[in-house]
Amino acid sequence: MIERGTLYIVSTPIGNMADITLRALDTLKAVNLIVCEDTRRTRGLLTHYQISKPLLSYNDVNKEARTPGLLSKLSTGQSLALVSDAGTPAISDPGFYLVRQAIRQGINVVPIPGPSAILAALVVSGLPTDRFLFVGFLSRKSGRRRTQIRSFAAERGTIIFYETALRLPKVAPVLAEILGPGREVVLARELTKKFEQVVRTDLENLPEILKGVPLKGEFVVLVSGNTQ
Ligand code: SAM
């Protein structure tokens, strides 16, 4: 069912525990080791699905130290699953470095696709889906954030980014100032969870709208592209 010496990139739920594929569960059961972001978080998922498997944490701080050992396991025929706390690994989450190094060593890397907040938000946004630009998290520093926003001002496709709830009120007026007040904006909050909410407005009205949105939980922000 699984291949030897293979690194599986396994997507896990972004909230609703039922959002995991049969193939993801089979893979997590079959591999020798699960490499994860936070062992406690992944242990919760495994317990829910009654899977017992060794876990090893892998993150930005320990990735360089841990990668050689993982590559050596893979090259001796062990199979590993890489998961993150939620969604698809390596998308604003640890994993890219491991994937890159594994490919360099000729190791087989296989995706087990599933949830990702980007696509879940895009498909319910009502904004064009034929072309989009994902820019990860906006910078925490206001100067860098402005430069970043300017860098995608001309993009014609839908722009998607992750943002923390508390920074949204600060970011909203800057988006309007740089991109123009008329752009459509969609906030996709707590997708697949109890307080799931999708708010559709424009950049001019966003600061006012934010006063009525609970600034709690996880948000994906989508802005319509430049149509001029
Ligand atoms: N790798 C993940 C993925 O594929 O969705 C994203 C990881 S990133 C560290 C976490 C960010 O994704 C959150 O800060 C939030 O912006 C977004 N996010 C994750 N789960 C979400 C959800 N259920 N609803 C809305 N946004 C979510």
pLDDT tens, position by position, 127-172: 999 999 999 999 999 999 999 999 999 999 999 999 999 999 999 9
The model's pLDDT over 199-209, given as tens digits with 9 standing for 90+, comes to: 999 999 999 99
User: With a 6 A CB cut-off, is 125 part of the ligand 1 pocket?
Assistant: no
pTM: 0.96
Same domain, 133 and 87: no
pLDDT value at position 70? 98
Pocket probe for ligand 1: among 164, 187, 194, 220, the residue whose CB has the most ligand atoms within 8 Å is: 220
Instruction: Yes or no: say if 162 and 194 are a contact pair by the CB < 8 Å rule.
Output: no
pLDDT value at position 228? 83
How far is it, in rounded angstroms, from Cα 7 to Cα 10? Answer: 9
Q: Looking up tokens 């007040």, which residue turns up?
A: 181
Same domain, 105 and 163: no
196 CA distance to ligand 1 middle (Å): 13
153's tokens: 């001002």
User: With a 6 A CB cut-off, is 19 part of the ligand 1 pocket?
Assistant: no
Q: Is residue 228 part of a domain?
A: no
Which structural domain, as residue segments, surrounds residue 161? 117-223
Task: Indicate the length of the chain as a whole number.
Answer: 228
pLDDT of 1 above 90 = no
Same domain, 127 and 203: yes
Same domain, 149 and 103: no
Q: Is residue 84 part of a domain?
A: yes
Q: Is residue 68 part of a domain?
A: yes
b/e code 145-167 from CB counts within 10 Å (16+ = b): beebbeebeebebbbbbbbebee
Same domain, 13 and 43: yes
How far is it, in rounded angstroms, from Cα 56 to Cα 178? Answer: 43
Nearest ligand 1 atom, CA 193: 23
- Type of residue at 98: L
> At 97, which CATH number?
3.40.1010.10
> At 127, which CATH number?
3.30.950.10
Same domain, 81 and 146: no
117's tokens: 């907040």
Same domain, 215 and 124: yes
Name which of 21, 16, 78 is nearest 53 in CA terms. 78
3-state secondary structure of 100: helix
